[in-house]
Structures are given as C-alpha cells and as structure tokens.
Structure 1
C-alpha cells in the first residue's frame, strides 16, 4: 500500500461524494453536494472539468446507453456531458423541503438503488429506493442518513449504512428479483456521545467492495478508512490526513487505486490550516483490486 496523496489541479469540495471510475473514459466522476456541482478528472492527462447543477446532487452513476444518471434533490435525471441535464426520469418520492437524495449505485442488472438524507435529523424519516423500468419504489426505511451502499462480489449480499445511527447493515440480496431479506447488523460504532473523546472513531459514510469481498468504508469525522472481511472482522485501518473522508471507490485500469472523496464543510480557519487536503480527492494504491462500477440501464 502506497502513501496517500491528493489529485493535483482539482478544486476542493465542500462535501465531495459518490466517486466512480468510468472505464470507457478512463475518468473519475464525483459530486459536490452543497457545491451543486458534478466533477470529472481524466486519468491520462489529469484534466479536470466541472458542471454546475440546479440543486444538490446526491449521487451519480454511468448509464449503459451513454451519459450519466444523476440523483438531484427533485428527482433522477439523465445527464449528458455535452448537453447537461436532458430529462427527468423520476420525480423525487419524498418531501423535498426536508429530504434529499444521498448515496446511490446501480446493481449488477442496472437497477439504481438510492437512499435519502433527512435534513432535519428526524430518525426514521429517510429510506432506500429502487429505480427500475421507469418506476421508483421504497424498499427499506427507518433511518435518517442513507449511505454505505455496496454489493459482495457474487451479488448475494448488499450493504447499507445509517450514518447517524453509526451502523452498517447487511441484507441477503436476490440478484434476479432485486429484493432484500434477512436484514442484520454488519458493523456498529460508538457514537460521539458514547465514546471517550479520544476514542471516537467517526461514523460510517460511503463504501466500496474489493474483489476478495472486503468492505471498505469511509469513517466520517474519524480520519480513516476501515476494511471489513465478509464475516464482519476488521482487517485493515488506513489513517487519512483529513478528518472527514466521505466515500472510496476503486479506479485505474487495474482497479488497484483507491480514490477517496472528502469534506471541508463546517471546518473553521484553524481546522483548515491543519487539514489543507480537506475537500480534496485523495488516492492510494492497494494490493487487492476493487470491483468495476455497474452501469445503470435507465
């Protein structure tokens, strides 16, 4: 494993999220949620481009037919890098005054799974939705900050986190039907109130799975990445030079570069001086490759 470094020539995000490596373009995409922007960095030349968006983007996924699928506050949209937003394909199924879309990814058959974030902090108001064949359906709920979506290499386990509750769940996942069963706790972490100040290790945010089934999760406010084996055993901890990593993804041709979005939102001048890379996209090399991104069929 190599040292952590930031992507050069890329502006800091207030809250970077939803990175994915686009194999056809050899490029990294991600969003800045409060910055209302989509970003792309091209690996072969280091070129960076960003697009302003009308509302907060929760996540982004590549489309099989070309372009991207963006989850904005008001719904799911097709996006073309040359033309911008082209069509809303699903209206947001929640009260947009108190919620917005958050973490989301496509499964192996191209269905988009996307959760919501309760901005007023009410426990149980956020949910997880599945978008398939033009329909968006609620499939799980009872949380306040949906995050941590990822699938095992065989597709039979889906992971889902509630960041505010400091817990990661696992489900049995039926690939053909796109249904969930047997929800259980996969990992739980002490809250800031429950842990001694020096022992607080952050809360689970975005995640990715490697080819051996390792679940890599960014610990927001914990300045670290954690890797768990499929049985829930903690196998690796990677310290990071920023307090709030938000989500990892695997990229480059060999899928052995771990890209990590981070946040700087809420940091004061003194904190930013101590964390000059806060809001940057970080990267490091790992030994086990990740899984390629799934394309949305919508």
Structure 2
C-alpha cells in the first residue's frame, strides 16, 4: 500500500484521530507537541491549536443532541471547547497525580460516555502498573460522573468497541496483549477481560531497524465488519484482527512508530485509512531512514471496508462558560 504524509509539519507524538462527519475533517492530537490538530482533506488545509498541557485524547461533543464542539483530556483534567480556538472550560478532573500520570488513549462509547485511559509517566525508570481506565458520564444535569473501571495499568491504549457494543477492546501496551471485555446490554463491562491476541515481547538488546520484533499494540479502531485495527508501535505496521483474534491483514507503514489508525471519509467504495505516528525520542538514524515519522499518514488507496461513525460525548447541559 502506498502512503503519503497528509501534512507538511510532523507531530512529536500524534494520537487520537477521528473523522468528523459534519465537517469532513480529520481531528487528532499531538501529545508531546501540546496541540490539537485538524485537516480538511478536500482543501488540504491543516490547523494546529496550542494547548496548555498534553492532550491525551479528544472526541466530538453534543449537548442535548446538538453538536457543541470538543471534549479534550488534558493531562489530568477534561475540558470542553465549544469552538475551535475558543475558551477551554474544565468539566471533570481525573483522580490522578499529574506529576507521575497523565491521560492517554480515550474514546466515547455508543452511549456518549468518554472512556479515558491513563499512563504512568515517571521522571525516570520503567513504567509501572499504577494507572487506570476511567469512564466519564456527562449526560446528567450536574457535573460529569467519573468512575474508575480498571486498575493495574501501565499504559492504557487500544480502546474500541464492537459494532453491537457487546465487546470493549483495550490494551496495556507494555504487556503486548490486546484484551476483549464483554459488556452487558447497558454497556457495562462484566466479568474479567479475555485475551484477544498476545504478541511476543521485545527481545533483549533489540535496536530499531533490526529484525526480530513486530512491535507492541498501541491505538486502535473497529471497522464496519467488526474487525479490530491496531497500530504496532516500533513495529512499523498496522494490523487487522478478526473478532476471534486472528491477524487477517498486516500493512507496513513508513514510520517505525505508528500510534493509531482511523478509518475515515467513508463512502460507497469503503474508507480512507489514516494513521498517526511518533518521532519523539526516536534515534536520528531511524528518522533519517523514515522521514515520514511523526506525520499523519494517509493511504493512497481506499479500503474495501467502511469504518464506523465516531461516537460523540453526550451532555445534558452546556457547561457554564460555554453558553
């Protein structure tokens, strides 16, 4: 598959892409670059909006059923923005220590709840399983309800749902394992997650550019047929897995560290595959080999399968300060 960079300016750590069906734009974040980004593919216009801290993830928002901007997870606090470049209004705080933990991957479920995973980010040393997965529900008339859904996470990633909402997929990236969690009719996870697919760990002494390592699962998406698409960080590829966990497609990407796929711009011919990627902290020789690292990448041919519409963050009332 042919790829091209969709923007002229690379991100440090691109993540959380989603296709906005009303605006025909792709949105994503540059976590390390502390910016929100968006692209209008038809015109080629790309925009960046500087943030006061690292944006882990974003989603489109609706108030009383009407589009009303974005919900943004900035390190330890969720904010609402009614307009691009407008005021940021805090609406909920995650119960974490921002000195050692921050918001990472996140998406909304079909009910409009914003699920946000955190990651341990120590100043030195390896990441430890002290982070968590949270569910933020803003559908009531008061402050959003924040619930801790899962503990013992080092780097929460890979959030996605099956088309029927019966399965929640998630990843703790250092574990090299994708898990599937059964959900009941009300969207609540039940029982213990099962292993969907486990990957081989990084070999001792492995260096970027060497064979012998396929990467570890990062951000993800689910297509209209219920297959799970996952970016393999340090593996230079995106995988498509069946609902049973079998790898049915292995697509090379011109960046060692793809971070999340998005099946956007749906039409009768299928969908366009976008992939965010990272360049932060990567070796100079790797960046010389793969100069597209950090760019939003777009596939040159459309996929024969459609993506799924983005889920919106649903509110009962517009937060004070955004009226």
TM range (shorter): over 0.9
Residue 260 of structure 1: aligned partner: 275
Residue 287 of structure 1: aligned partner: 304
Conservation of the 8 A alpha-carbon contact between 2:78 and 2:91: yes
SS in 2 for 1:271: helix
SS in 2 for 1:182: coil
* Superposed displacement of residue 91, structure 1: 1.1
Greater shift after overlay, 261-270 or 23-32?
Answer: 261-270
Greater shift after overlay, 188-197 or 13-22?
Answer: 188-197
Matches within 5 A, 1:133-148: 133=138, 134-148=144-158
Which protein has the larger Cα radius of gyration, Structure 1 or Structure 2?
2
TM-score, scaled relative to structure 1: 0.95
Summarize deviations over 1:138-165 as a string: whole Å, max 9, x none: 0012120000000111110110001111
* Superposed displacement of residue 175, structure 1: 4.6
Matches within 5 A, 1:127-276: 127-133=132-138, 134-193=144-203, 198-254=211-267, 256-276=271-291
Gaps of 5+ in 1: none
* Superposed displacement of residue 179, structure 1: 3.3
SS in 2 for 1:164: helix
Greater shift after overlay, 156-165 or 251-260?
Answer: 251-260
Q: Indicate the RMSD between aligned Cα atoms, in angstroms.
A: 1.6
Aligned residues: 296
Q: Distance in 1 between matches of 2:185 and 2:81?
A: 27
Conservation of the 8 A alpha-carbon contact between 2:203 and 2:212: no
Any runs of at least 4 consecutive aligned residues in structure 1 with deviations exceeding 6 A, and if so which? none
* Superposed displacement of residue 190, structure 1: 1.1
Conservation of the 8 A alpha-carbon contact between 2:174 and 2:216: yes
Greater shift after overlay, 228-237 or 188-197?
Answer: 188-197
Q: Distance in 2 between matches of 1:188 and 1:100?
A: 25
Q: Distance in 1 between matches of 2:288 and 2:127?
A: 33
Matches within 5 A, 1:42-81: 42-65=40-63, 66-81=68-83
Q: Distance in 2 between matches of 1:122 and 1:262?
A: 21
Q: Distance in 2 between matches of 1:295 and 1:139?
A: 20
* Superposed displacement of residue 3, structure 1: 1.9
Conservation of the 8 A alpha-carbon contact between 2:266 and 2:307: no
Conservation of the 8 A alpha-carbon contact between 2:134 and 2:148: yes
Matches within 5 A, 1:87-106: 87-106=89-108
Change (3 A) 1:82 1:33: closer
Gaps of 5+ in 2: 139-143, 316-323
